[in-house]
Structure 1
Amino acid sequence: MKKIFLLFAVAILMIACNKDDEAPQPTPEPTEIEKLPPATQTGANKVGCLLNGKAFLPSGTNPTGGNPNPYCAYYHDNFVLAFSIVKNENNTSMLGSETIALYNSDIILEEGRTYLLKVSASNHSAVYTHYNNIVNPDSYETTENHTGELHITKLDKEKNIISGTFWFDAVNEQGKKVEIRDGRFDMVFEGWAGKV
């Protein structure tokens, strides 16, 4: 009798263990890098990066009614990529918003090349701006000592698609630094991309 009872107890224990294995597990939160868009080359109009280790993705619309968010333009030898997290869409103020922008001018971009982002006087720079004050926003810029890179992985001048990766370090006037890492973009650009 004891053997039957023992076998019955073991069977119930095995069934209970199997039910625990089948219980739904909570979905883990994505990591910050998993929140970024994939590095595609199709003109998906996606861009994102890590700002001091946190995902930075465009959200909201430009409250001043200007360019779309995100915005990408390439006119012959002038390239700009800008995207923002807009915090205050109910008025025309950028207060609380944050923007990242990359600029490259006086050079015709080429697929497969990497371009240095440094001091703005070089015409190849990057900026992070936090509009904590509309009159005097907190602006972080690349410099001779705090640089970055823009790498073009695809440039289709017929379909106006530009894709690539970027990273940079930038500082404000007080010397405080921000780190932009794992940037990727896949954009349909406004412009005419070096076509003469």
Structure 2
Amino acid sequence: MKASSIPWLLLLTLAACKKETELDKLPDATQKGKNTAGFLLDGKAWLPEAGKLLSKGGPVSASWQRTVVGRSMTIRFSRDSDLTITQLFIPHIQRSGVFVCNQQVSPILGYRNPTYGMFAMTKSLTIPRLFYTGPTATGSLTVTRFDTVARVVSGTFDLTVQEETSPQTHQLTQGRFDYTF
């Protein structure tokens, strides 16, 4: 082998090595009820994880329950290492589709709220900082599979959430979930 071909081989070898990106750390966007979720929180991968504090029922959950407005879906994932919770809420869900998150949310309204996304952060189990979608922090939630027989809900989301008491926002992008309920 000629000495002049060694740099080219080295260059090809380096080009073949792919550096893992934050997006690569997220689970695939499946529709099989694998109980997976994840998103990019301000560009960094955020994945749920089990623990003893926030995720007593598991780090991922979805519930479809009868409420005063119909059957509502709540999708929740948590991570104990940094005491964060993400929640997606769809009132009166009947089928898959795109749900816009652009209306005012009020914890007092409970199941009478519009579709929303929420991100909560706490430190040392103090009062959480709550971030919601709303008129000035919008997003969309796409349910790609809503199967009441197999009891599977899957989809994707891209949200901007704003703190209740300040103008601070976070970007929850490239989100995906695939749960049984």
Separation in 1, partners of 2:169, 2:125? 21
Separation in 1, partners of 2:83, 2:80? 5
Q: Does structure 1 retain, via aligned residues, the 8 Å contact 2:158–2:172?
A: yes
Q: How far 1:27 sits from its partner (Å)?
A: 4.1
Structure 1: stretches of 5+ with no match in the other structure? 1-10, 88-95, 190-196
TM-score by length of 1: 0.75
Whose Rg is larger? 1
2:83 counterpart of 1:86:
no
- Identity across aligned pairs (percent)? 22
Distance change (3 Å), C-alpha of 1:110 and 1:16: closer
2:44 counterpart of 1:37:
no
Separation in 2, partners of 1:23, 1:167? 36
The aligned runs of 1:9-88 (5 Å cut-off) are 12-13=2-3, 20=10, 27-63=17-53, 66-76=56-66, 77-87=71-81
1:86-116 deviation digits (Å, cap 9, x = unpaired): 11xxxxxxxx4111111122x12312x1112
Alignment match of 2:123 (pick from 126, 132, 139): 132
Letter in 2 for 1:81: I
TM-score by length of 2: 0.80
Separation in 2, partners of 1:153, 1:65? 25
Structure 2: stretches of 5+ with no match in the other structure? 107-112
Letter in 2 for 1:103: F
Separation in 2, partners of 1:155, 1:138? 31
Partner of 1:177: 169
Aligned Cα RMSD in Å?
A: 2.5
Q: How far 1:15 sits from its partner (Å)?
A: 7.2
Separation in 2, partners of 1:66, 1:15? 58
Aligned length: 169
Which secondary structure state, in structure 2, belongs to the residue aligned with residue 50 of structure 1?
strand
Separation in 1, partners of 2:62, 2:4? 60
Which secondary structure state, in structure 1, belongs to the residue aligned with residue 24 of structure 2?
helix
Greater share of residues in strand: 2
